[in-house]
Amino acid sequence: MPVASISSPSLNVDELCHPRPSFAGPVSYGALELPSRYLLSPLAGYTNLAFRRIVRQIGGVGLATTDLISANALVHLSEKTLRMIETHDEDQPFAVQIFGHEASVMCEAAQFLQERGVDTIDINMGCPVERIAGGGSGAGMMCDLGSTLSLVQSVVESVSIPVSVKMRLGWDSTQLTAPKFAREFEQIGVVAIAIHGRTRAQGFSGVVDRSGIRAVVEAVERIPVVGNGDVRSVPDAARMIEETGCQAVSIGRGALANPWLFRQLVEWESTGQWSAPGSFNDRLELLLRQFGYMIEQWGELGGIVRFRKMAHWYLKSMRVRPKLRNMLQQSKTKEQFDAAIRDIERAGPRGFDKTGVLPDMHVPVPSGPIDRW
C-alpha cells in the first residue's frame, strides 16, 4: 500500500507550546543537585552507555541510570556486569541501579559502586519479571514492609552517596503500598522516590494512574518524587506534573522514540515553548553515532548484535520501509550494516521528507506474560 496518502510533508511546529510549570527550585538527590528535573528511566537492554551518551549530548537530562544490575553479580565481579556499569565523562551525573534481596550483598555492592565514583545508587523495587520479583527482589520487595525497610536502611547506612528507590504503586490493586513505603523510606534517609504509576500485576497494560503517584507525593514531606510512566511528549510531562505534584519526571520508552525530549522539556520549563525533534537526517546521524559507540565498547560483532534492539526504534521513528529495516537488522558485518544504511539514506522516510519533522512513532508495550519479560 503506497503511503502517498499522507498529505502533510511535515508537522505544524507552531503547536509546540504549553503553559510552563513553576517549581520552588532545582531537584536534589541529597547533596547532589541535578542539572534538570527530567531523568532517563532505566530500560534494560537500551539505556546502555552508548544511548546515555547520545541523550546527554543532545541535552536536558538531569540524571541517567544503568539498566538494573544484579548486586550479586557485581560483588562477584562478573565481567559482563562490570561492563554494564562502564561510564564516560559525558555521562554525569551517573546512577547505577541495583537489585537483590540480601542486605549484606546489597551493601557490599553499594560500597563497591561508591568506591568506583558512582554519584548515586538506585534500588530497584519495580521489576515485575518472575525470575527477579519471585525471589523477593524487584517488585517482590513491595510485599514485605519490615524486611524491605531493614534492607534499604542497611544500604543507606553503608554508603555516604545518595540512595534512591524506584518502585511501582504496589503488587496489585488490593495492595497499593507505595505511599507507605515512601513515607518510611524518607524517615530512613532515602533521598528520592521514582514511582511508575502501575502495579506489578498490571505490567505495562492500561494507563498510568496519576492519582496513585499523587498519593506518593502527598505521603512524603521533603524528598523529591519522580513521576514515571507513559510520558512521550512535553504535554504528557505537563500533565504528570500538574496532576501529581511531582518534582521530577522520568522517561523511558518516550526517550527511545524521541531522544530530544529532555532538551524540549528544559526549553519548555524556561520559555513555555520547545523546538521540534530531529528530522530523518538528524536521526540517521544519531543512529550512526550511537552505533559507533557500541562498536567502540563491544567490538564489531558485539556492537552489531547489541545495537539491533535500538535500531528498531530509530528505524521506526524514521519511517523506514520494513524491507530496509529488515536488511539492517539482519546485517552480521560492518560492511552489510553500511550497505543497509546507504539504501536507507537513499530511500528516505516513507511519505515525508528527509529534513522535516516526522510524526510521533507508536510506542510499543512489552507483550506476553509479565513472567517472561
To ligand FMN, the closest distance from the beta carbon of 370 in angstroms equals: 11
Q: How far is the CB of 240 from ligand FMN (least distance, A)?
A: 10
Helix axes 234-244, 210-219, angle to 10 degrees: 50
Give min distance, CB of 57 to ligand FMN, in A: 20
Residue 44 near residue 52, CB atoms below 8 Å: no
- Per-residue CA distances from 18 to 104, 225, 237, 352 (Å): 48, 23, 11, 26
Q: Which is nearer to ligand FMN, 223 or 237 (CB)?
A: 237
Which grid coordinates belong to 84? 554494564
Residue 332's alpha-carbon distances to 109, 113, 284, in angstroms, are 36, 35, 19
Query: Which residue's CB atom is positioned nearest to ligand FMN?
Result: 252
Provide the residue type at 240 as one letter.
M
CB of 264 to ligand FMN, least distance (A): 15
Give the DSSP letter string of 209-256.
Answer: -HHHHHHHHHH-SSS-EEEESS--SHHHHHHHHHHH--SEEEESHHHH
Min separation Cβ 265 and ligand FMN, Å: 13
Q: Take residue 10 and report the three cell numbers written for it.
A: 511535515
One-letter identity of residue 270: S
Amino acid code (one letter) for 335: E
Distance between CA atoms of residues 304 and 321, nearest Å:
20
The residue among 41 and 158 lying less far from ligand FMN, judged by its C-beta, is 41
Q: How far apart are CA 309 and CA 292, in angstroms?
A: 15
Active site residues: 127
CB of 365 to ligand FMN, least distance (A): 8
CA 50/CA 38 separation, integer angstroms: 19
Alpha-carbon span 200 to 100, nearest angstrom: 17
State the nearest-atom distance from the C-beta of 3 to ligand FMN, in Å.
27
Bridge partners of 39, per DSSP, are: 63, 250
Nearer to ligand FMN, 207 or 301 (CB): 207
Closest to 47 measured CA to CA, from 225, 186, 252: 252
Give 186 or 230: the residue with its C-beta nearer to ligand FMN.
Answer: 230
Residue 292 or 366 having the CB closest to ligand FMN: 366
DSSP state of 147: H
Looking at the Cβ atoms of 133 and 159, the one nearer to ligand FMN is: 133
Point out which residues bind ligand FMN (CB under 6 A): 41-44, 67-68, 97, 124, 126-127, 166, 196, 228-231, 251-254, 366
**Cβ-based nearer residue to ligand FMN, 48 or 331:** 48
Cβ 326 to ligand FMN shortest distance, Å:
21
Q: Toward ligand FMN, which CB reaches closer, 132 or 327?
A: 132
Secondary structure E strands in the chain: 28-29, 32-33, 38-40, 63-70, 94-99, 120-125, 163-168, 193-196, 225-228, 248-251
Query: Given CA atoms 343, 346, 350, 354 in this order, what sign does their dihedral have?
Result: positive
d(CA 166, CA 161): 16
